[in-house]
Amino acid sequence: MNLNEKLKIYADVLEDELMSKHTTYRIGGRVKYYIYPRNLISLMRCIRLLKENKIQYEIMGRGSNVLWTDSYFDGAVINLDRYLNESYIEEDGTIVAQAGCSIINLAYEVAKKSLSGMEFATGIPGSIGGGVYMNAGAYKSDFSSILEAVMVLKDEQILWMQKDDLMFGYRKSSFQSHPDWIILAAKFKCKPGNREEILALMDSRRERRLASQPLDRPCAGSVFRNPETIPAWKIVDELGLRGFTLGGAQVSEKHSNFIINASGQAKAEDVKQLIAYIQEQAKEKFEIELITEVEHFNCE
């Protein structure tokens, strides 16, 4: 039995799959295997099989904060969203959600239970695993504000790691320096609130996002983290780069901290070069280091 056949015992496996189908940028070349493990045992077994065959792998969620290479990736992408996506909400506000759970869906389910704390997540299109990994946030709040612990697959052992041990900060966590740690689930704590008020706030924020961000175009959300002194979009505006185009990539006219795949045919290299150009200009003219939020996969 070859590797393909073994993997298919434990997972749904797509071979020679285009990554542009799995990223919100609609950018990305082919990968050897795109794998959806059917449960936790399947995930662990797939990882073991890949390691035994010396095949590199990456864990990815909904592809909403990702710039993936145009080149062929002779490895595997493991996606937890199809099967490892359950969530549980207790009456006292305790929430346990698997890594593949939709952030937006969970935020609304929590609100419907008259629980407050996830309002910030209304417009974050990723999955819980990616949200915790990046400590995603909005409206001066983020996942670390409600997080208690994270279930992690580490050295083939499953353990709960407490929030205080994971060095959360603005758009960062310990997971970014430990790519071998796989987020399986997270435990959150929310507080009682008024259901109607929470839902009204979330809906108004959603409307604001739709009005101010190019969510109808292929993009990956905010490109740069906000420096302490000035929002990233304002820096891009002051550089005169709103609407600036490089290849198929463009700084959005609607929100200048977004880069869109304007032509629908943009390459990862177009986006990468546009990001680098903005960073160079910000450094040269304002002596500001713009740090990206978008994760680069195999785009060295």
Known catalytic residues? 171, 222, 293
Q: Which residue bears the tokens 């298919």?
A: 8
State both tokens at 41.
Answer: 């045992």
Rounded Cα gap, residues 210 and 206, in angstroms:
6
Cα 263 to chain center, whole Å?
23
Name the H helices within the chain: 3-10, 40-52, 103-112, 128-134, 195-212, 232-238, 268-286
CA distance to 4, 105, 132, 144, 252, per residue, from 136 (Å): 35, 15, 7, 9, 21
Cβ neighbour number for residue 85 with a 10 Å cutoff: 19
Strands 147-154 and 182-189: antiparallel
For residue 106, give the nearest of 126, 133, 92 by alpha carbon. Answer: 126
What's at 141, amino acid-wise?
A: S
Angle between helices 103-112 and 195-212 (to 10 degrees): 150
For residue 143, give the nearest of 111, 115, 169 by alpha carbon. Answer: 169
Is residue 223 within 8 A of residue 259, CB to CB? The reply is yes
Cβ neighbour number for residue 27 with a 10 Å cutoff: 28
